[in-house]
Amino acid sequence: MDFDEIKLAESGYLMQTYSRFNVAVESGKGSVVFDNNGKPYIDFGSGIGVNSLGYSDPEWVEAVKNQAEKLAHISNLYYNEVQISFAARLCKMAGMARVFLGNSGAEANECAIKLARKYSFDKYGAGRPAIISLRNSFHGRTVTTLSATGQDVFHQYFFPFTEGFEFVDAGDIEGLKSIINSQTCAVMLECIQGEGGVVPLEPEYVQKVRELCDQNDLLLIIDEVQTGAGRTGKFLAFEHYGIKPDIVTMAKGLGGGLPIGACLCNEKLSGVLTSGTHGSTFGGNPVACAGANVVLNRLSSEGFLDGVAKKGEYIRSRVKSMQNVKSVRGMGLMIGIELVNGEAKGIAAKCLQKGLLVLTAKTLVRLLPPLTITFDEIDKGLEILGSALKEG
Ligand SMILES: *Cc1c(COP(=O)(O)O)cnc(C)c1O
């Protein structure tokens, strides 16, 4: 099929939930993808932070291939060593006690919400289900994770939404204090609001949230679906903040391209979700776990995360001096670019024409390149970005 045929078939057969860029991607190598005509594009988006090791990483492909040949799926009614060794590794790297494995970010957050509510139910009985989340947050697309998302645009059409979520502005510690009451069981936040426009929280604020949670026996849930798995230059973004959450969720980059989500908890919560209280048919799939194991290997290899931090600093410093850039924010390879004028969507379309994939978040151009991107690929991409920004 040529591009127009692909586009026509898409509009005929897929529910029209996405506004797609005008390109059909066929393959990838390193941090470059190729469209159906073989045209290359430097990828500064990595499938929204998913392809953490870039495309067709040889070690990742080998592990996934071998596992697909050996055992693609087995029910969680049985033990499987690949899944279990991955879980053990993940818990150690995250400094958490136990994990539940699912298939996406939304599912990881659903698990976090169930876990927080059951902890409270077990200890205090019914009537303490409320979770405070931040305005401008994003936690997923299921009915409950939409309810947890602090943006009114997501609270339409699908009524009734799940009850028990309240919102407060990021950074407003007094506001948070004032809405905590006898019904509150948890606070949920992203260290850097991703979909909200790459907005990092202040360390002092997050530390005060942790203190408030401790004082009121509230669980601190940190959504690291986007920031986790090395994206910010640490394995988990909360490591920049000098605190530890009770629950942390991960997904996007964790599998290196295959669907996997994780909800990790500390020792205090490790016995809360008991047999029959939660589950997933596909969760912890052996092929996804085999790929994720390679991601964990790579992230823990000597100097890898420092490299992510360095590449991020390099990109930010170069972008800062580009025309039409008002400010640059973010950490590691999670970068938001505020424009002086022009629309982020327009800049992204221009970049695409010139052979560069970038993302947007709200009014910002957003970059989430593969963590393995080379300086050569970065330079090529920045050259295109600079010229697209100049045209506005
Ligand atoms: C992407 C994202 C989600 C949702 O993940 P899905 O895999 O699309 O369900 C949740 N939280 C954050 C912070 C995200 O960036």
Can you give the residue ranges of every domain in the chain? 3-56+303-391, 71-299
Pocket test for ligand 1, best of 195, 222, 258 (most atoms within 8 A of CB): 195
**Whether pLDDT at 366 is above 90:** yes
Confirm or reject: Cβ of 285 under 6 Å from ligand 1: no
Pocket test for ligand 1, best of 252, 360, 366 (most atoms within 8 A of CB): 252
Average pLDDT value for the chain: 98
In the sheet that 98-102 helps form, which strands lie side by side, from edge to edge? 98-102, 261-265, 247-250, 219-223, 184-189, 130-134, 165-168
Confirm or reject: Cβ of 234 under 6 Å from ligand 1: no
The pLDDT, as a whole number, for residue 107 is: 98
How far apart, in whole angstroms, are the C-alpha atoms of residue 183 and residue 181? 5
Pocket test for ligand 1, best of 50, 107, 137, 138 (most atoms within 8 A of CB): 138
Q: Each residue of 34-88: pLDDT tens digit? A: 999 999 999 999 999 999 999 999 999 999 999 999 999 999 999 999 999 999 9
How far apart, in whole angstroms, are the C-alpha atoms of residue 358 and residue 265? 33
Closest-lying ligand 1 atom to the alpha carbon of residue 145: 10
Q: Which CATH class is domain 3-56+303-391?
A: alpha beta
85 Cβ neighbours under 8 A, 6+ residues apart: 293
Cα(274) to centroid(ligand 1), Å: 25
Confirm or reject: Cβ of 150 under 6 Å from ligand 1: no
**pLDDT mean over 346-366:** 98
**pLDDT mean over 296-321:** 98
Q: Which CATH class is domain 71-299?
A: alpha beta
The pLDDT, as a whole number, for residue 136 is: 98
The pLDDT, as a whole number, for residue 118 is: 98
**pLDDT mean over 9-30:** 98
Confirm or reject: Cβ of 224 under 6 Å from ligand 1: no
Residue 24: count of CB within 10 angstroms of its CB: 17
**Whether pLDDT at 342 is above 90:** no
**pLDDT mean over 92-106:** 98
151 Cβ neighbours under 8 A, 6+ residues apart: 135, 136, 137, 138, 196
How far apart, in whole angstroms, are the C-alpha atoms of residue 303 and residue 306? 5
**pLDDT mean over 150-173:** 98
The pLDDT, as a whole number, for residue 100 is: 99
